[in-house]
Amino acid sequence: MWLILTLLLLLSLSLGHTVEPGCDDWRIDSSSADKVCCNRCKQGNRLVFDCGSDTKQLCEPCTNGTYTDTFTASFCKRCTECISPLRVKQLCTASTDTVCECAQGFRCGDQSCSFCIQECGEGEEPTEHRGCQPCPAGTFNSQIHHHCVKWSSSCPSPDQQIVAAGTAVTDIVCADLKPTTPRPDVKSDPGLMLVIAVICTCLIISAAIPLCMVMYFKKEKAVKMPPMPVETPAVEAGRRLVPEPEQCSFCFPQEERGSNSSLLLDDKPFELVV
């Protein structure tokens, strides 16, 4: 891109300005009727003679690389050169100077864009040395190439509160306060009182029924179980275990217990049970 602009500039300088020479407005000289005096040259011409016999010889076009933006100037000014970071926006002509602009990342330092300064982004601010510096603590900048401003100290509305502190690119963040829900007036609402009473009664009944059932079943179980007999140590000491008589499929009948004449057929001695 730079190469193309440079070639165009050199081509325009080599070809020269296509400007028509001469005076554009004149008057007859009061000292001589054969002469005229130029009031205004044509665009891109400089004034050579104030008065003369030929209007075309009173003014002549500016040479290559020069220009004039007035109609009565006696000399032409040199065209401005755009030096980096300046670049050519519009080429110089006989009647206009070169128009320069700044490259990307820079901006013009004055109205005529005679020099460039660094363009500062969000969170930065320009310095006196044509540079940029970060916003100091407690300030922010949310625009391109502007100075930093202080954070707001409070929210714009009394119904808001600060929910987030500011940053280098944003101010403090405010939000509406959460509305507090007023408690219902129980005394002034008999219907609500009735609902609360019914709910409480149901809760009491539902809790009492299982408790009564548990107590009832425990009582029934205690009644059905007989008490265990309590034996004294004396009875336990005087008791002797008596072996049960052997069961047999064929035995001779025995006499009643306590008889002295009862004899057994076998040789086994009998036992006396006390």
In the chain, domain spans? 18-77, 86-118, 124-176
- Which residues have a Cβ under 8 Å from the Cβ of 143 and sit 6 or more positions away? 122
Nearest to 67 by CA among 43, 40, 88: 43
Q: Which amino acid is at 33?
A: A
Residue with tokens 């020069």: 66
- Of the listed ranges 151-160, 196-205, 225-234, the least confidently predicted one is 225-234
- Of the listed ranges 135-149, 202-216, 248-262, the least confidently predicted one is 248-262
Residue with tokens 């007035």: 70
How many angstroms separate the CA atoms of 3 and 88, rounded? 11
pTM over cut 0.75: no
Q: Which amino acid is at 219?
A: K
Per the DSSP assignment, residues forming a β-bridge with 57 are none
**CA distances (Å), 49 to each of 112, 124, 180, 206, 236, in order?**
32, 56, 90, 122, 163
Band (pLDDT 50/70/90 cuts) for residue 196 is confident
Burial class (CB in 10 A: 0-12, 13-18, 19+), 182: exposed
The conformation of residue 40, written as its DSSP 8-state character, comes to E
pLDDT digits (tens, 9 = 90+) for 46-104: 999 999 999 999 999 999 999 999 999 999 999 999 999 999 999 999 999 999 999 99
The SS3 call for residue 45 is: strand
Q: Which amino acid is at 246?
A: E
Nearest to 78 by CA among 90, 61, 94: 94
- Kindly report the average pLDDT of the chain as a whole number: 79
- Of the listed ranges 33-37, 140-144, 180-184, 236-240, the least confidently predicted one is 236-240
Contacts by residues 114-118 (CB-CB < 8 Å, ≥ 24 positions apart): 114/80, 115/86, 116/85, 116/86
How many CB atoms within 10 Å of residue 36? 19
pLDDT digits (tens, 9 = 90+) for 213-257: 878 777 777 666 555 555 544 444 445 444 555 554 444 455 444
Band (pLDDT 50/70/90 cuts) for residue 209 is confident
CATH number of 18-77: 2.10.50
Residue 122 has pLDDT above 60, yes or no: yes
Nearest to 124 by CA among 105, 141, 112, 99: 141
Q: Which fold has domain 124-176?
A: Tumor Necrosis Factor Receptor, subunit A; domain 2 (2.10.50)
